[in-house]
């Protein structure tokens, strides 16, 4: 057993009140990993609170365990586990508002800053859920059907339905095992990836109207006014970027989402062989080689100009290197 896994096991065995937190604006991997670990620790007799700064989006409410997710930490927490966050700020909480320093950090982002006492970071994993699946046996944790459902949701969503280049035979073996344990693949695929509300469809419409393309670069924006017009309560692009990344000829796709606090949420997607993580890091963000993001201070027009200029530069250098 690796030393960090042994230390993980020792810490959870000695803890009496555990808090598990994942990142703000949670996606399927954040939610699935959070609830899966919470449920498996509770099955082992532990007192565990699952925390999300922004709560659970409606489309993931079908997952078992979401009703117990909280937005505040227990006062008696003596073990803090952070999942699927490249840095501690990604939790959406101010560092001083955390109940204690981070004891355990489990993540798969290559830009992870190793901010925990124990760090289990595997940038080759397709999702944090995949890492947790591998940890279950050495940690002595049971994977029942509820845990399996949440883990499979993490895998399905972070690989966009097994379409990303980090889907390996090992990943598909994990998927098969989770299905054997009771996870309903077709339901997860339909509800977590395919189903959209009429509000989201109308919201997407504004982004599609502003769509621009220049050589291999595709981008658009969504404004605060767009959200208000359709009644969309989220602060993101509602996964529109995954649709835009399928556009023929798009090497890099960028979406700019205006925020109320004088900032813009920027998301990038790229084709295989084009690493946009350093670009996101340059703007104070992070992520993966082909999927990254950043929160950038400034107005929408100014941020768009800066980011598109920098993205053009990356795309140009990669294109020239291929010649």
Q: What is the pLDDT of residue 61?
A: 96
Question: 211 CB contacts (<8 Å, ≥6 apart)?
Answer: 218, 219, 220, 244
Q: Cβ(183)–Cβ(151) under 8 Å?
A: yes
Q: What is the pLDDT of residue 94?
A: 94
pLDDT-derived band of residue 146, with 50, 70 and 90 as boundaries? very high
**Homologous superfamily in CATH for domain 3-193:** inorganic pyrophosphatase (n-terminal core) (3.90.1640.10)
* Domain spans in the chain, listed from the N-terminal domain onward: 3-193, 198-321
The listed CATH number (3.40.50.720, 3.10.310.30, 3.65.10.10, 3.40.220.10) that belongs to domain 198-321: 3.10.310.30
pTM of the model: 0.91
- Length of the chain as a residue count: 323
Check pLDDT > 90 for residue 316: no
Q: What is the pLDDT of residue 235?
A: 82
Q: What gap in Å lies between CA 84 and CA 208, rounded to an integer? A: 30
Q: What is the pLDDT of residue 273?
A: 83
pLDDT-derived band of residue 28, with 50, 70 and 90 as boundaries? very high
pLDDT digit string, tens, across residues 259-279 = 988 999 999 999 988 999 999
Q: Which residue has the higher pLDDT, 165 or 101?
A: 101
């Amino acid at each position: 057993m690796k030393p960090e896994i042994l230390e993980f096991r020792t810490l959870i065995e000695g803890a009496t009140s555990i808090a598990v937190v994942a990142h703000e604006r949670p996606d399927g991997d954040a939610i699935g990993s959070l609830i899966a670990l919470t449920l498996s620790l509770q099955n082992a007799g532990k007192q565990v609170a699952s925390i999300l700064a922004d709560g659970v989006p409606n489309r993931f409410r079908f997952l078992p365990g979401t009703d117990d997710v909280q937005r505040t930490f227990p006062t008696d927490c003596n073990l803090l586990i952070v999942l699927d966050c490249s840095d501690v700020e990604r939790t959406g909480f101010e560092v001083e508002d955390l109940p204690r320093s981070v004891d355990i950090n489990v993540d798969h982002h290559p830009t992870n800053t190793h901010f925990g006492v124990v760090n289990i970071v595997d940038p080759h994993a397709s999702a944090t859920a995949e890492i947790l699946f591998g940890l279950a046996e050495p940690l002595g944790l049971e994977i029942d059907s509820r845990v399996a459902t949440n883990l499979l949701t993490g895998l399905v969503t972070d690989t966009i339905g097994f379409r990303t280049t980090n889907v390996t035979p090992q990943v598909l073996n994990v998927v098969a095992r989770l299905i054997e344990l009771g996870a309903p693949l077709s339901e997860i695929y339909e509800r977590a990836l395919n189903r959209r509300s009429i509000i989201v469809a109308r919201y997407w419409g504004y982004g599609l109207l502003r769509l621009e393309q220049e050589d291999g670069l595709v981008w658009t924006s969504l404004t605060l006014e767009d959200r208000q017009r359709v009644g969309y309560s989220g602060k993101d692009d509602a996964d529109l970027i995954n649709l835009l990344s399928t556009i023929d000829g798009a090497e890099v796709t960028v979406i700019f989402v205006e925020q109320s606090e004088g900032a813009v949420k920027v998301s990038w997607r790229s084709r295989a062989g084009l690493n946009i993580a350093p670009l996101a890091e340059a703007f104070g963000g992070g992520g993966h080689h082909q999927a990254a993001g950043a929160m950038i201070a400034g107005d929408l027009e100014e941020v768009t100009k800066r980011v598109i200029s920098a993205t053009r530069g990356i795309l140009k250098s990669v294109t020239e290197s291929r010649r």
